[in-house]
């Protein structure tokens, strides 16, 4: 928490067992003791003393090379979560030009060919 107080820049990396996609989130964070924030995290009648609030400035996928090469999630089934194609489709859906929009099904279909050419 000291680091957040000193320099609010943060970078989070989300890895899900069974899934080779890694999502990175960059932004700024601050500590909050707001009653509204604390109430959102109440469990079994207990509230935290503080929470970390993050304002997101960037979201992007991280290269999956290390996870794929290491076999980190080998043998583990991927949970039912949005795919990277789903995320990109949602982010580009409002773009005026159809050519700038990502189609989730096509992105996922073409992903293995892209990975094979670019990761190895």
| pLDDT top residue among 4 and 83 | 4
Q: What's the pTM?
A: 0.65
The Cα–Cα gap between 38 and 113 comes to 46
Mean pLDDT value across the chain: 88
CA distances from 54 to 32, 62, 115 (A): 10, 19, 31
**Tell me: the pLDDT tens digits for 29-81?**
999 999 999 999 999 999 999 999 999 999 888 877 788 888 888 888 778 88
């Amino acid at each position: 928490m000291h680091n957040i107080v000193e320099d609010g820049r943060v970078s989070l990396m989300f890895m899900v067992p069974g899934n080779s996609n890694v999502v990175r989130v960059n932004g700024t964070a601050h500590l909050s003791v707001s009653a509204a924030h604390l109430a959102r995290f109440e469990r079994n009648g207990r509230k935290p003393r503080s929470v970390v609030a993050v304002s997101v400035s960037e979201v992007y996928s991280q290269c999956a090379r290390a996870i794929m090469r290491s076999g980190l999630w080998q043998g583990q089934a991927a949970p039912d979560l949005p795919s990277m194609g789903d995320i990109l489709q949602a982010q580009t859906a409002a773009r005026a030009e159809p050519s700038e929009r990502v189609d989730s099904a096509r992105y996922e279909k073409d992903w293995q060919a892209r990975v094979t050419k670019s990761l190895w």
